[in-house]
Amino acid sequence: MIRVLLVDDQDLVRIGLRTLLENEDGFDVAGEAADGLAAVDEAIRVRPDVVLMDIRMPGIDGLEATRRIVAQETLAQTRVIVLTTFERDEYVFEALHVGASGFLLKDTPPAQLLEAIRTVVDGGALLAPSVTRTLIAEFISAGRRPLTPHPQLDQLTTREVEIVTLVAEGLNNHEIAERLFLSPATARTHVSRAMIKLGARDRAQLVVFAFQSGLA
């Protein structure tokens, strides 16, 4: 059972999400919150598997709430999916940087939202939609975020650097394996080692590090 915390300042949005999840096998609504501070408190209380986080709310916004949730040791296994109304929301990059596992638009089809939740629980990242990678690249290439190579980047092997670059392109383990003529298990091992060396919470943060370091 995947336990989900719903965070949005609009009652109708939370009601819609609750209805969707409660009518789908394998999901349970662990709690709700209407602002960022309440979201942090509720996350600490219920320890959900996934937080569906609105980004613009009263009090502290979804960005700061995500930062605080990710910083909690007791919530190390909790994943945050940012829900936004706008594709080009200026806060999305920072949300990924502080630990969100990805983002979706609020008009995402229900089936895609459910699959997204399953994906982050399984350790994946919501990076397949080109808009995510385009957004990150735009923020860096436009000079709004200067390149800041990761301090542990030199610990990566040549192969691991290659792997991280492919992850940043949005390739999954099977696609990386095909590109480099490796087994999927070997590709998975390289990704895991790179994440450990760089201290990446998940693949989403690994992509952010790749862009910040100029690898993509």
Prediction pTM value: 0.75
Same domain, 122 and 151: no
> CB of 152 within 8 A of CB of 197?
yes
99 pLDDT more than 50:
yes
Name the least confident of 25-39, 50-64, 164-178.
164-178
> CB of 176 within 8 A of CB of 187?
yes
Region 131-158 average pLDDT: 71
Tell the residue number behind the tokens 């965070």, with chain if given. Answer: 7
Q: Is residue 132 part of a domain?
A: no
Q: Is 108 exposed, middle or buried (0-12, 13-18, 19+ CB in 10 A)?
A: middle
Same domain, 115 and 151: no
pLDDT-derived band at 140, boundaries 50, 70, 90? low
Same domain, 195 and 97: no
Of the residues 91, 126, 161, the one at which a domain ends: 126
* Percent of the chain at pLDDT exceeding 90: 50
Same domain, 162 and 108: no
* CATH code assigned at 22: 3.40.50.2300
pLDDT-derived band at 128, boundaries 50, 70, 90? very low
Domain that holds residue 69: 2-126
Instruction: For the chain, count helices (H), then strands (E).
Output: 10, 5
| Cα–Cα distances in angstroms (integers) from residue 167 to residues 12, 138, 203, 215, in the given order | 36, 17, 7, 10
38 pLDDT more than 90:
yes
Q: Is residue 141 part of a domain?
A: no
Same domain, 114 and 157: no
Same domain, 86 and 158: no
The number of domains in the chain is: 2
Same domain, 8 and 71: yes
Same domain, 40 and 103: yes
pLDDT-derived band at 75, boundaries 50, 70, 90? very high
Same domain, 121 and 157: no
* CATH code assigned at 175: 1.10.10.10
pLDDT-derived band at 213, boundaries 50, 70, 90? confident
Q: Which amino acid is at 105?
A: L
